[in-house]
Amino acid sequence: MGADLDSAVRVAAFSFLREQTALHGGSVLPRSVLAQGFEFDGRRVPLLGPQGIFKPAICEMPLSITTVPEVPGKERPYEDEPTYEGVHYRYRGTDPRHPDNAGLRKAMAGHVPLVYFHGHRPGLYHAEWPVYVVGDNPAKLTFTILTEDTSDIEASATTLGDAPRRAYLAVMMNKRLHQSLFRVRVLDAYSETCAVCRLRHWELLDAAHILPDRHPLGDPVVPNGLALCKLHHAAFDADILGVRPDLKIEVRHDVLRESDGPMLKVGLQGFDGQIITVPRQTALRPNVDFLAERYERFRKAG
C-alpha cells in the first residue's frame, strides 16, 4: 500500500493545484493555501512546510521542494539557481546523507514526480509541476530539477537528442517562472488594479506585455507591462483597445460604431478617451517609447 498510497497522494496533489490555479487566475498561489493543502482519505495533506524539502507524513518520499522568496535586506538561507540544465536546487545542509537529501535521491531513482514552489515575494509562490530530480552533484551540494511536461513542446523539438531536449525544457520552465514573476511585479506596481477599469480582483487580473515577449525589447519587466483585467487584456492584445503614449485610451473606430448589449457600451466603448491608471513610482510606469510602438500597431489595425 505504501508506494500505491504515495502515488495516489501525488495525483490528488496535482489535481488540487490545477483547481487552485484556475481559482487564482494563474500559477501564482498564496502560501496559506499551499500550507493548508487538501484532504485525502480523511487526512490533511499540506503541500509545503518550513523546510525547503517537504515530505508529508502520508508520503514515502518528498512531495515538494521550495525556493524561498527574496526579502530586501535579508540574505537567503540558500541560493537555488535556474540554469539551462534545470534548477540547481541546494541540498538540505551539507550532509548528502541527510534524510531530506536521501529522500530526493530516492525520488530521482524512482523517477517520482514532485512539485516545485518558487517564492516570488513573501506569501506568493509560483507552482511548477510535475518536476523531477534529474541530477545529483554531492560535490556542489545540489540536485538538478527539471520539468518533463511536454505539452507545449513543438513537434520539431521532440526529435531532438537528450541534451537539446533537456535544454529546451529548462528554457520553457524558466520562461514560465519569469512570466509568473512578471505578473506579480506588475500587479504589485499597479496596486492589484486594472489600469483601465480599476477592477481589483487578483484572480481576474493579468500582466499584459506592451511589446510582446518575442520582440527584441519585450522583456518581462514592469515598464513593459500593464495590469489589465481579463477583458481589457484580450481587447488590448486584439488591438480593439489601444493606449496612446500620453496614456489616453482609444477604442477601435469600428467597435465604437457597433451597437450591442450593455457590456460593449460599459466595458469597452465607455473607456474611449479616458486616461489609464499608472504606478506612483515613475520608474515603474509604462515606457513611453514602447507605448508609441504598440500604439502604431493598434492604429494600423484600425
Res 274 pLDDT > 50: yes
Q: What's the pLDDT tens digit per position in 44-53? A: 999 999 989 9
Q: Does 137 lie in the same domain as 76? A: yes
Question: How many domains is the chain partitioned into structurally?
Answer: 2
Q: Does 134 lie in the same domain as 55? A: yes
Mean pLDDT value across the chain:
91
Q: Does 85 lie in the same domain as 226? A: no
Q: What's the pLDDT tens digit per position in 147-165? A: 875 554 444 444 445 777 7
Res 270 pLDDT > 90: yes
Q: What's the pLDDT tens digit per position in 77-118? A: 666 777 778 899 999 999 999 999 999 999 999 999 999 999
Among 184, 207, 233, give the residue marking a domain's end: 184
Q: Does 133 lie in the same domain as 220? A: no
Q: Does 170 lie in the same domain as 31? A: yes
Q: How confident is the model at residue 76 (pLDDT cuts 50, 70, 90)?
A: low
Among 157, 184, 211, give the residue marking a domain's end: 184
Res 38 pLDDT > 90: yes
Q: What's the pLDDT tens digit per position in 208-222? A: 999 998 999 999 999
Q: How confident is the model at residue 272 (pLDDT cuts 50, 70, 90)?
A: very high
- HEC assignment per residue over the chain: CHHHHHHHHHHHHHHHHHHHHHHCCCCEEEHHHHHHCEEECCEEECCCCCCCEECCCCCCCCCEEEECCCECCECCCCCCEEEECEEEEECCCCCCCCHHHHHHHHHHHCCCCEEEEEEEECCEEEEEEEEEEEEEECCCCEEEEEECCCCCCCHHHHHCCHHHHHHHHHHHHHHHHHHHHHHHHHHHHCCCCCCCCCCCCHHHEEEEECCCCCCCCCCCCHHHEEEEEHHHHHHHHCCCEEECCCCEEEECHHHHCCCCCHHHHHHCHHHCCCECCCCCCHHHCCCHHHHHHHHHHHHHHC
Q: Does 95 lie in the same domain as 41? A: yes
Q: What's the pLDDT tens digit per position in 106-117? A: 999 999 999 999
Q: Does 166 lie in the same domain as 196? A: no
Q: What's the pLDDT tens digit per position in 224-266? A: 999 999 999 999 999 999 999 999 999 999 999 988 878 888 8
Q: Does 81 lie in the same domain as 65? A: yes
Parent domain of 264: 192-301
Q: CATH code at 19?
A: 2.30.280
Q: Does 198 lie in the same domain as 162? A: no
Output the pTM of the full model.
Answer: 0.85
> What is the reported pLDDT for 71?
77
Mean pLDDT throughout 288-301? 96
Among 161, 184, 207, give the residue marking a domain's end: 184
